[in-house]
Chain A
Amino acid sequence: MDPEQVDEFVMGYLKKKGFNSAAKQLQEALHHNNGGTFNSTDYHNDPELTKLIRSFSQSENDPTRYRDGYSKLRSWAYNSLDLYKHELLRVMYPVFIHCYMDLVGKGHTREARAFFNSFRKDHEMIHLRDLQKLEGVLVPSHLEEMEFARSLRQSKVNIKICQYSYDLLLQYLHRTESTLMLGIINEHINFQVYSGQPNSSSDDIDAVTIVGSFQETADHINQKEIQWGLLEDSLEDRLEKTGSLLSDSEKGQGESKDGDVDDSKKRSNEIGKQGSSLKKLKKDKAGNATAKVARQETSIVSPAPRVKPELALPVMSTDVEESILEDLRNRVQLSSVAMPSVSFYTFVNTHNGLNCASISHDGSLVAGGFSDSSIKVWNMAKIGQAGSGALQGESDTNDQNVGPNGRRNYTLLLGHSGPVYSATFSPPGDFVLSSSADTTIRLWSTQLNANLVCYKGHNYPVWDVQFSPFGHYFASCSHDRTARIWSMDRVQPLRIMAGHLSDVDVSVSLTIVRCVQWHPNCNYIATGSSDKTVRLWDVQTGECVRIFIGHRSMVLSLAMSPDGRYMASGDEDGTIMMWDLSTARCITPLMGHNSCVWSLSYSGEGSLLASGSADCTVKLWDVTSSTKLTKAEEKNGNTNRLRSLRTFPTKSTPVHALRFSRRNLLFAAGALSKPAS
Chain B
Amino acid sequence: ELWKGEEKMSIVPKETIEVIAQSIGITNLSPEAALMLAPDVEYRVREIMQEAIKCMRHSKRTTLTASDVDGALNLRNLEPIYGFGSGGPIRFRKAIGHRDLFYTDDREVDFKDVIEAPLPKAPLDTEIVCHWLAIEGVQPAIPENAPLEVIRAPAENQIYQQKDGPLIDIRLPVKHVLSKELQLYFQKIAELTMSKSNPSLFKEALVSLASDSGLHPLVPYFTNFIADEVSRGLNDFLLLFNLMHVVRSLLQNPHIHIEPYLHQLMPSVVTCLVSRKLGNRFADNHWDLRDFTANLVALICKRFGNTYVTLQSRLTKTLVNALLDPKKALTQHYGAIQGLAALGHNVVRLLVLSNLEPYLSLLEPELDAEKQKNQMKSYEAWRVYGALLRAAGLCIHDRLKIFPNLPSPSPSLLNKGKGKVINTEPNKRKLSVDSSENRSPRKRLIATDGSDGGPSPMQVDRPTGDANPPQNSVHPSSSEQASGGNAPESRNAKENQGSKGRTITRKAILDQIWKDDLDSGRLLVKLHQLYGDRILPFIPSTEMSLFL
User: Which residues on A are within 8 Å of B, measured CB to CB?
Assistant: 109, 113, 132-133, 135-139, 142, 338-356, 366, 368, 370-371, 376, 378, 380, 383-384, 390-391, 393-394, 396-398, 401-402, 408-410, 419, 421, 437, 460-461, 463, 479, 512, 514, 530, 554, 556, 572, 595-596, 598, 614, 616, 618, 620, 645-646, 648-652, 654, 656, 668-669, 675-676
Q: Is A419 a contact partner of B71 (Cβ separation < 8 A)?
A: yes
List, in ascending order, chain A residues with CB within 8 A of B133's CB.
342-344, 618, 648, 650, 668
CA of A437 to CA of B124, assembled, Å: 25
Give which listed residue, B43, B47, B57, B137, contacts A556 with CB less than 8 A. Answer: B57
Given A345-B128, A380-B128, verify A351-B123 contact (CB < 8 Å).
Answer: yes
Q: Is B59 a contact partner of A133 (Cβ separation < 8 A)?
A: no
Q: List 18 A-B contacts (CB under 8 A).
A: A135-B46, A136-B47, A339-B137, A340-B134, A342-B133, A346-B131, A350-B126, A352-B87, A354-B60, A368-B126, A393-B131, A401-B122, A408-B125, A421-B59, A514-B57, A614-B62, A649-B151, A652-B146
| B residues 50-72 touching A (CB-CB < 8 Å) | 50, 54, 57-62, 65, 67, 71
Q: Is A340 a contact partner of B47 (Cβ separation < 8 A)?
A: no
CA of A376 to CA of B127, assembled, Å: 10
List, in ascending order, chain B residues with CB within 8 A of A646's CB.
134, 137
6 closest Cβ contacts across the A-B interface? A339-B137, A136-B46, A401-B125, A138-B39, A342-B133, A344-B133
Q: Is B132 a contact partner of A341 (Cβ separation < 8 A)?
A: yes
Given A397-B124, A596-B57, verify A339-B136 contact (CB < 8 Å).
Answer: yes
List, in ascending order, chain B residues with CB within 8 A of A648's CB.
133-134, 139, 145
Give which listed residue, A338, A419, A530, A645, contacts B54 with CB less than 8 A. Answer: A530
CA of A394 to CA of B127, assembled, Å: 10
Q: Is A352 a contact partner of B61 (Cβ separation < 8 A)?
A: yes
Extra contacts besides A343-B130, A654-B60 (11): CB < 8 Å: A342-B134, A346-B129, A346-B131, A347-B127, A348-B128, A350-B126, A391-B129, A419-B59, A596-B57, A649-B146, A651-B145
Q: Is B134 a contact partner of A341 (Cβ separation < 8 A)?
A: yes
Q: Is B60 a contact partner of A390 (Cβ separation < 8 A)?
A: no
Chain B min CB distance to A380 (Å)? 6
Does B259 count as interface, using CB distance less than 8 angstroms?
no
User: Which residues on B are within 8 Å of A, measured CB to CB?
Assistant: 11, 39-40, 42-43, 45-47, 50, 54, 57-62, 65, 67, 71, 74-75, 87-88, 122-139, 143-146, 148, 151
List, in ascending order, chain B residues with CB within 8 A of A669's CB.
128
CA of A650 to CA of B124, assembled, Å: 22
Q: Is A348 a contact partner of B129 (Cβ separation < 8 A)?
A: yes
Give which listed residue, B39, B57, B128, contacts A347 with CB less than 8 A. Answer: B128
Q: Is B43 a contact partner of A138 (Cβ separation < 8 A)?
A: yes
CA of A38 to CA of B134, assembled, Å: 77
List, in ascending order, chain B residues with CB within 8 A of A460's CB.
75
- Write the chain B residue with the least CB distance to A403: B127
Q: Is A133 a contact partner of B57 (Cβ separation < 8 A)?
A: no
Given A355-B60, A408-B125, A596-B57, verify A344-B131 contact (CB < 8 Å).
Answer: yes
Q: Is A345 a contact partner of B129 (Cβ separation < 8 A)?
A: yes
Q: Is B128 a contact partner of A346 (Cβ separation < 8 A)?
A: yes
Q: Is A348 a contact partner of B145 (Cβ separation < 8 A)?
A: no
Chain B min CB distance to A474 (Å)? 18
Given A352-B61, A352-B88, A371-B59, verify A396-B127 contact (CB < 8 Å).
Answer: yes
List, in ascending order, chain A residues with CB within 8 A of B136's CB.
338-341
CA of A554 to CA of B54, assembled, Å: 9
List, in ascending order, chain B residues with CB within 8 A of A676's CB.
124
CA of A353 to CA of B135, assembled, Å: 30
List, in ascending order, chain A residues with CB within 8 A of B146's CB.
616, 649-652
CA of A668 to CA of B59, assembled, Å: 17
Chain A min CB distance to B148 (Å)? 7
CA of A376 to CA of B125, assembled, Å: 11
List, in ascending order, chain B residues with CB within 8 A of A530's CB.
54
Q: Is A656 a contact partner of B134 (Cβ separation < 8 A)?
A: no
CA of A353 to CA of B61, assembled, Å: 9
Which of B39, B42, B67, B133: most chain A Cβ within 10 A? Answer: B133
Q: Is B130 a contact partner of A390 (Cβ separation < 8 A)?
A: yes
Given A349-B125, A353-B87, verify A391-B130 contact (CB < 8 Å).
Answer: yes
Chain A min CB distance to B31 (Å)? 16
List, in ascending order, chain A residues with CB within 8 A of B134's CB.
339-342, 618, 646, 648
CA of A652 to CA of B129, assembled, Å: 14
Given A136-B42, A339-B137, A393-B144, verify A380-B130 contact (CB < 8 Å).
Answer: yes
CA of A370 to CA of B126, assembled, Å: 10
Q: Is B75 a contact partner of A346 (Cβ separation < 8 A)?
A: no
CA of A419 to CA of B75, assembled, Å: 13
Q: Is A344 a contact partner of B124 (Cβ separation < 8 A)?
A: no
Which of B43, B47, B126, B136: most chain A Cβ within 10 A? Answer: B126
CA of A344 to CA of B135, assembled, Å: 11
List, in ascending order, chain A residues with CB within 8 A of B47's CB.
136
List, in ascending order, chain A residues with CB within 8 A of B145's CB.
648-651
List, in ascending order, chain A residues with CB within 8 A of B137's CB.
338-341, 620, 645-646
- Write the chain B residue with the least CB distance to A515: B58
CA of A378 to CA of B127, assembled, Å: 9
Q: Is B59 a contact partner of A397 (Cβ separation < 8 A)?
A: no
- Write the chain A residue with the least CB distance to B35: A109
Chain B min CB distance to A530 (Å)? 7
- Write the chain A residue with the least CB distance to B59: A355
Q: Is A139 a contact partner of B75 (Cβ separation < 8 A)?
A: no
- Write the chain B residue with the least CB distance to A556: B57
Chain B min CB distance to A555 (Å)? 11
List, in ascending order, chain A residues with CB within 8 A of B148's CB.
649
Q: Is A378 a contact partner of B62 (Cβ separation < 8 A)?
A: no
List, in ascending order, chain B residues with CB within 8 A of A350's CB.
126
Chain A min CB distance to B89 (Å)? 9
Q: Is A341 a contact partner of B135 (Cβ separation < 8 A)?
A: yes
CA of A419 to CA of B58, assembled, Å: 10
List, in ascending order, chain B residues with CB within 8 A of A656's CB.
60
Chain A min CB distance to B123 (Å)? 6
- Write the chain A residue with the least CB distance to B12: A138
List, in ascending order, chain A residues with CB within 8 A of B46's CB.
132, 135-136
- Write the chain B residue with the least CB distance to A652: B146
Q: Is B50 a contact partner of A133 (Cβ separation < 8 A)?
A: yes
- Write the chain B residue with the least CB distance to A141: B40
Q: Is A376 a contact partner of B126 (Cβ separation < 8 A)?
A: yes
CA of A356 to CA of B58, assembled, Å: 8
Chain B min CB distance to A671 (Å)? 8
CA of A489 to CA of B67, assembled, Å: 34
CA of A542 to CA of B65, assembled, Å: 37
Give which listed residue, B57, B61, B144, contacts A572 with CB less than 8 A. Answer: B57
Given A142-B43, A479-B75, verify A390-B128 contact (CB < 8 Å).
Answer: yes
Give which listed residue, A390, A479, A668, contacts B127 with CB less than 8 A. Answer: A390
CA of A398 to CA of B123, assembled, Å: 11
Which of B45, B131, B143: most chain A Cβ within 10 A? Answer: B131
CA of A267 to CA of B47, assembled, Å: 54
Give which listed residue, B43, B50, B74, B144, contacts A651 with CB less than 8 A. Answer: B144
CA of A620 to CA of B137, assembled, Å: 9
Chain A min CB distance to B160 (Å)? 15
CA of A126 to CA of B50, assembled, Å: 18
Q: Is B50 a contact partner of A351 (Cβ separation < 8 A)?
A: no
Chain A min CB distance to B14 (Å)? 13
Chain B min CB distance to A451 (Å)? 20
List, in ascending order, chain B residues with CB within 8 A of A410's CB.
126, 128
List, in ascending order, chain A residues with CB within 8 A of B87's CB.
351-353
CA of A109 to CA of B132, assembled, Å: 57
Q: Is B39 a contact partner of A355 (Cβ separation < 8 A)?
A: no
CA of A530 to CA of B55, assembled, Å: 12
Which of A340, A408, A596, A648: most chain B Cβ within 10 A? Answer: A648
Q: Is A109 a contact partner of B39 (Cβ separation < 8 A)?
A: yes
Q: Is B126 a contact partner of A349 (Cβ separation < 8 A)?
A: yes
Chain A min CB distance to B268 (Å)? 32
Q: Is A654 a contact partner of B62 (Cβ separation < 8 A)?
A: yes
Given A352-B87, A461-B75, verify A344-B60 contact (CB < 8 Å).
Answer: no
Q: Is B39 a contact partner of A397 (Cβ separation < 8 A)?
A: no
